Amino acid sequence: MPVSHRTDIVGEMNTPLVTDRTPRAFTPAFLYSQRHPRRMPDGVNDWDTPLAESGPGSVPVVLIHGTWMNSYCTWSLIAPTLVDAGYRVFAVNYGQDPSCFLGRRPACFGNAGLLEAQAEVAAFIDKVLEHTGAPVVDLVGHSQGVAQARLYLTDSGGAGDPAAGTAPRVRRVIGFAGSNHGTTMSGLGSLGRWIKNRGLYGPLRAVLGRCAEDQMIGSAAMAHINLHGDTVPGVDYTMLCSRYDEIVTPWRTQFLEEGEGATVRNLQVQDHGNGGDISDHLSLLYSPRAIDLMLEALDHGPEGDYRANNPHVTGRVLPFWGKIGKNGK
């Protein structure tokens, strides 16, 4: 993928954030984040620069990480790529529950219950809207982060109120390996339900946090998220998936069904001759094809304009790692 350059509000060229030192793989980014738990991805949370009047810089992009993750290991490549492309990007670490073992790890977030964590996510999105003065945001989530984006729409006022004539506060939702309908976690979820049904889930929750049981197929949290369908009117959704995902399984549960007034695209990164990409749940975040599809979904130009000027990107991606080959890390 070619490296683009940022421009400031008067059009001068700035140094690109994506360099040879930028992580191209999940594992080194994850390990770095464990040693530097307060580190955020390059280029995020610029609260001072005014929004552009049009184009990529006119709509803030809010990044929402997933379960047991943090913003750096999730977005260390995606965030600076977006900033280099002209977007204003914001990211938050949320949902840290110190009552569970993982929640006491400094760099481990997203371990609280999904519905409880939504208040923190919604407050951050509202802060971005208020501080920038933008009428809408674009939300990019990974795993649980996609569920949180959808909860913002349905539970936290993000969908607006059609009866009152107020529009959604979200333009687009882009999901990487979205936790949309619950998971079996390649069979571990079935084991978790067996443990829960026998009253033995307490010790497991004390280690993993409430987030794990909330994302099992058939959980009360998943029933709540999907109570009124997969989408809300006026919002554009793009779900990016890999057939090799081992966490949100079966992987097709990541797909959304288009409801009235919404647009949905469910895309698999192995399509269009990209068979060398065997991204799993984590390395999907470092897949050149997935990042290319995200940029297409966020594009501010006429429909089809991005793809007309950018042929599909291909790349070899390994599970738990990321891109290999040229410029790989």
pLDDT tens per residue, the chain (329 residues)?
433 444 443 344 578 999 999 999 999 999 999 999 999 999 999 999 999 999 999 999 999 999 999 999 999 999 999 999 999 999 999 999 999 999 999 999 999 999 999 999 999 999 999 999 999 999 999 999 999 999 999 999 999 998 888 999 999 999 999 999 999 876 544 545 545 565 556 667 888 899 988 999 989 999 999 999 999 999 999 999 999 999 999 999 999 999 999 999 999 999 999 999 999 999 999 999 999 999 999 999 999 999 999 999 999 999 999 999 864 33
Q: In which region does residue 234 sit, left (phi positive, over 0), alpha (psi from -120 to 50) or beta (all else)?
A: left
Q: Which of 141, 144, 156, 136 is nearest to 51 (CA)?
A: 136
What is the token pair recorded at 285?
């975040």
Residue with tokens 């530097």: 36
Q: Is residue 253 part of a domain?
A: yes
Q: Which helix or strand (DSSP H or E) is residue 241 part of?
A: strand 236-241
Residue 7 lies in a domain: no
In a domain, 287, yes or no: yes
Is residue 329 in some structural domain? no
72-82 pLDDT per residue, tens: 999 999 999 99
Q: How do beta strands 263-268 and 316-317 pair?
A: unpaired
Whether residue 53 is contained in a domain is answered as yes
- In this structure, what DSSP letter does residue 126 have? H
Query: Could you count the other beta carbons within 10 Å of the beta carbon of residue 75?
Result: 29
Q: CB-based burial of residue 205 (10 Å sphere; 0-12 exposed, 13-18 middle, 19+ buried)?
A: buried
Q: Which two tokens stand for residue 182?
A: 């619950």
User: Any idea what the CATH number is for the domain that residue 109 is in?
Assistant: 3.40.50.1820
Cβ 329 vs Cβ 23: under 8 Å:
yes
Contacting residues for 215 by C-beta, under 8 A, at least 6 apart: 67, 114, 144, 147, 179, 182, 183, 221, 222
Q: What are phi and psi of 178, to 5 degrees?
A: -65, 135
Residue 287's domain spans which residues?
26-324
Q: What is the pTM of this model?
A: 0.93
Hey, CA dihedral for 108, 112, 115, 116, is it positive or negative? negative
CA distance 244 to 246: 6
Q: How many structural domains comprise the chain?
A: 1
DSSP assignment, residue 167? P
pLDDT at 196: 58
- The angle, 0 to 180 degrees and rounded to 10, between the axes of the packed helices 114-132 and 144-155 is 70
Q: What is the mean pLDDT of the chain?
A: 91
Please tell me whether the peptide bond between 250 and the residue prior to it is cis, using omega within 30 degrees of 0: yes
